[in-house]
Structure 1
Amino acid sequence: MSKSLGNVIDPLHVIEGITLDGLHATLAAGNLDAKEVARAKAGQATDFPEGIEECGTDALRFALCAYTTQARDINLDIKRVVAYRHWCNKLYNAIRYASMNLPEDYVPPTDAAAREAGFVAGLPAPSRWLLSKLSVAAGTVVKAMEAYDFATATQKLYSFWQYELCDVYIELMKPVMALGDDVPEQAAAKRGTRDALWLALDAGLRLLHPFM
């Protein structure tokens, strides 16, 4: 990256967003000569024709951690940061869905209860599947964090939340949540589904905490 090419990115521009005209204005306020300013403006117009979208701190932080496999200089793709911003919205919607489907009198399983041998065995098959994926994700993330391998940690967190929790489990649980509570088997299925969701969200958010 080079300032004279106009492709050096100010983190605040990614966090808060900026128009193309705003990017041009930052060049005019700098110390480049007229020829370099013209060259940099052309580069900005090519790289950011619509400016830079507001992405927020969480998306930028997560993206930078995901890029830690690169050398000292990071070739940051703004589209990837924007994708993480949309992903943050997906996480919010997952939490919102959970809050709508966990009644006010819901009591989540304690850590001791969740560790009991018969707890997981008594859950519906999709719930057992989710908790197995959670266990794998947690193990991978903890091991990666201990090795300062932030790229692997972020990749595994993204995969768990996006593909296993949101795309699969939440979609599978929607028809279960539509069941009535008057049939004991259906009520038990709903309870087990809620318990697995709560455990996955609780652990998933704890794993995300260092990044967001």
Structure 2
Amino acid sequence: MDILLIGGLWLDASAWDLVVPELEALGHRPVPVALPGQGDGDTSATLADQAAAVVAAVDAAAGRPLVVGHSAASTLAWLAADARPEAVAGVVLVGGFPWDDGRPYADLFEITDGVMPFPGWEPFDGPDIADLDAATREAVAAAAVPVPEGVARGVVRLTDERRFDVPVTVVCPEFTPAQARAWIDAGDVPELARAKHLDLVDLDSGHWPMFSAPAALARLLAALSA
């Protein structure tokens, strides 16, 4: 099966380099999605541009792909389900949740000169980064790509209620499935509250398992693809 891999904020497609060979060894075709504005130097890119890139990857896939979104890119994966509900086998959300219609995509940190730079590790101190050693933190920070303002402040637009028929799995790394369920039940994630086929699965890692637990993440994705 084709497994589309969408990195979260500040990550380019190389973020999946450790996961790709693991998935290939398990018999799948991983496809890291290159997002406009995250690796190509295009600071004018918008959320619509990134969503279009993900949809294009769905259209180019062999058969119905599994669409994996990490962190904020959980929303991008969900936008793909909204745009191509009949063409997506399922959506996997790694350490993140999809925003609902009308919400800004990721207006989380200060915008400087038209981009949202990586803020350093201090805002993520705790379970998010507990499993990242110093060398990995340094490497990830050095490779971090500032997110264009048009992406970070882009407004989420969802139009097709058939997205709720697409199977969704939330992979819970730095939080537990019980916590995720409580947030959904409390109304914090209205999109997932309406999903007809929702699973919550645990992964023993921090927020960036593609760096700290690539083999375990690949095994989980392979299992979900079945």
Q: Indicate whether the TM-score tops 0.5.
A: no
TM-score bucket of the superposed structures, by smaller chain:
under 0.3
Structure showing greater relative contact order (alpha-carbon pairs closer than 8 Å, 6 or more residues apart): 2
TM-score, length-scaled by structure 1: 0.24
The structure with the largest helix share of the pair is 1
- TM (normalized to structure 2)? 0.23
> Of the two, which has the highest radius of gyration?
1
